């Protein structure tokens, strides 16, 4: 029995993604692969392949804010899973059907850390 996750995106994530997609053409396919190889593996199958980390100070019983650090981007040849692209998402663990909201995507060469104010803003809606 396979439990599927319902995926959503914040408007800010969509804007970030569109901007990065111009630089990294394979990003759309790479994100689909990350959904299966990282998020579903970690949250549904409970297999930790050390690609997902909790964001400090933002996890509750209902929502876990996580960061994907190992994200393979084919457009960044030769870098493998250490491409430097980071994805911040919220995993809703309370509901019967799993839900993930993507909050932020960024390239580490342009920005060092996640936008903690954006995560706080996301929490205000819940």
Map out the domains of the chain as residue ranges. Answer: 5-124
Q: What pLDDT was estimated at residue 1?
A: 37
Instruction: Give the model confidence (pLDDT) of 37-56 as tens digits.
Output: 999 999 988 999 899 999 98
Please work out, in degrees rounded to the nearest 5, the angle formed at the alpha carbon of residue 88 by the alpha carbons of 87 and 93. 125
Report whether 100 contacts 7 (CB < 8 A).
yes
Instruction: Give the model confidence (pLDDT) of 56-93 as tens digits.
Output: 888 788 889 999 998 888 888 777 677 789 999 999 98
Give CATH for domain 5-124.
3.30.2310.20
Query: Does residue 96 or residue 84 have the better pLDDT?
Result: 84
**Among 10-14, 38-42, 100-104, whose mean pLDDT is lowest?**
38-42
The pTM assigned to this predicted structure is 0.90
Angle of helix 11-23 relative to helix 27-34, nearest 10 degrees? 130
């Amino acid at each position: 029995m396979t439990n599927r996750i319902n995926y959503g995106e914040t408007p800010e994530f969509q804007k970030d993604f569109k901007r990065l997609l111009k630089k990294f053409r394979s990003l759309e396919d790479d994100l689909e692969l990350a959904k299966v190889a990282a998020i579903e593996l970690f949250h549904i199958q409970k297999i930790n392949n050390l690609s997902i980390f909790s964001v400090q100070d933002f996890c509750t019983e209902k929502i876990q804010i996580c960061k994907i650090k190992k994200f393979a981007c084919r457009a960044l040849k030769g870098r493998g899973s250490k491409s430097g692209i980071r994805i911040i998402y919220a995993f809703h663990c309370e509901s019967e059907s799993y839900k993930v909201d993507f909050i932020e995507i960024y390239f580490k060469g342009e920005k060092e850390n996640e936008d903690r104010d954006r995560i706080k803003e996301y929490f205000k809606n819940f």
